[in-house]
Amino acid sequence: MLAYFIFALTIGGIYALLALSLNLIWGGVGLVNLGLVGFFAIGAYVSAILTGAGMPILVGWGAAIIIGAIAGFVVTLATTRLRDDYLAIVTLGLAEVIRLVALNERWLTNGSDGISGIQAPLKSVLGNQGFNLFYMGLVSLVVLVVWALLRRIDMSPYGRAMKAIREDQELAAFAGKNVLSFKVQAFALSAAIAGLAGALYAHFQSYISPDHFQPLITIYIFLAVASGGVGRPAGGVLGAYLVVFFLELTRFVPNLLPDFAPAQFAAIREIMIGTALLLVLHFKPQGLLPERIIPAPKP
């Protein structure tokens, strides 16, 4: 039971990083990334491939962050002159292309068989139980650091400029803010965080395959950010843990309804996730931890 709890907390932390990544652009500059899972996959594969080739784990993680940022930079730059709904469509396409590459370039990714035996840091020293506990601590620490960083950005003039762009980009441009550069920077940083989350995930699972990066994960993260509170880093983190808690809870539903087939359970679970997201958007759009808007100073 304890081992299970530790596992859920680790996955919760990785989802929390993805939620922080999405919140940075959705709550920040008002863009959405429908291909979040693609950047997650990039990070996982980059680190798995590099450490598989003998690089130290920290190099793998660093590379996951850098390649994630570059991918984010390329996508936004290619769609800079476009409206934001075009960007959403392009990110969806990018995730599909990444999935196709992971599936078909066997020389690089081992195709649908996936990459196994990914190094687990210090596992030989700590043993199974110790490693899980250590890794949960490590992931939680990374969440804390990224959260603190994003909160710092959120409170800074830079963060305020981002939110100004979200609210009215023409006005922000008129006030002398370089809208394009803010959007590209925010998107690249967001993609870098998603890449880091992917790397942490790969070395925790020690096995990754294209099946691990289903588009549904993106929906989970949207639910996490929407329910936690768009525009507030702590909201996304809370939402991510809640979503993982909910997902883990639904694992026990099959015991209650033995007449259904496994595929039907998966369907019911996804119906619940989709409905939850719709309900949140309708009835609690500000989320559990609403965005804090600092009142303008009195003259």
Partner 1 sequence: MTILLQALLNGIMNGTLIAVPAIGFTAIFAVLRFPNFAIAAYATIGAFAAWWVNVHLGAGVLPALIVAFAVAGFAGVAAEETALKGLRGSGALTVAIGSIALNVVLENIIRLYFGNDLRGYDLPIVPDWRFLGLRVGPQQLQSLMIAVAIMAAMFAFLRFTKFGKAMRAVADNADLARLKGIDPAKVALLTVFLGAGLAGTGGVLIGLDASIDPMLGYRVLLTVFAAAVLGGLGSIQGAVAGALLIGIAEECALLVIPPTYRSAVGFIAILLVLTLRPRGIFGERAA
Return residues touching partner 1 (CB under 8 A). Answer: 30, 32, 34, 78-79, 81-86, 88-90, 92-94, 96-97, 100, 103-104, 216, 219, 222-223, 226, 261, 263-264, 266-268, 270-271, 273-275, 277-278, 281-282, 285
- The two tokens of residue 174 are 């008129």
Q: Identify which of residues 66 and 78 has a Cβ nearer to partner 1 in the complex.
A: 78
**Tokens in use for 291?**
């965005």
**Nearest distance in Å: CB 158, partner 1:** 22
Residue nearer to partner 1 on the CB measure, 3 or 97: 97
Report the residue number, 155 or 266, with the smaller CB distance to partner 1. 266
Q: Which is nearer to partner 1, 80 or 116 (CB)?
A: 80
Provide, rounded to whole angstroms, the least separation between the CB of residue 167 and partner 1: 11
Query: With b meaning 16 or more CB within 10 Å and e meaning fewer, what string describes 138-150?
Result: bbeebbeebbeeb
Q: How far is the CB of 83 from partner 1 (least distance, A)?
A: 7
- Which positions ≥6 away from 129 have C-beta within 8 Å? 3
183: Cβ contacts below 8 Å, ≥ 6 apart: 29, 31, 76, 80, 165
- Read off the amino acid at residue 225: V
Q: Which is nearer to partner 1, 25 or 234 (CB)?
A: 25
Minimum CB distance to partner 1, residue 86 (Å): 6
C-alpha separations of 209 from 41, 91, 128, 136 in Å: 9, 21, 22, 22
Q: Which residues fall within 8 angstroms of residue 8, CB to CB, at 6 or more apart?
A: 244, 245, 248
Smallest distance from partner 1 to CB 67, Å: 19
| Nearest distance, CB of residue 270 and partner 1, angstroms | 4
Q: How far is the CB of 150 from partner 1 (least distance, A)?
A: 20
What is the spatial distance between Cα 120 and Cα 99, in angstroms, rounded to a whole number? 24
Nearer to partner 1, 143 or 280 (CB): 280
Q: How far is CA 100 from the centre of its chain?
A: 20
Closer CB to partner 1, residue 58 or residue 100? 100
Structure tokens at 244: 């993982």
Q: Which residues contact 63 (CB under 8 A, 6 or more apart)?
A: 46, 47, 50, 55
Query: What is d(CA 80, CA 95) in angstroms, rounded to the nearest whole number?
Result: 18
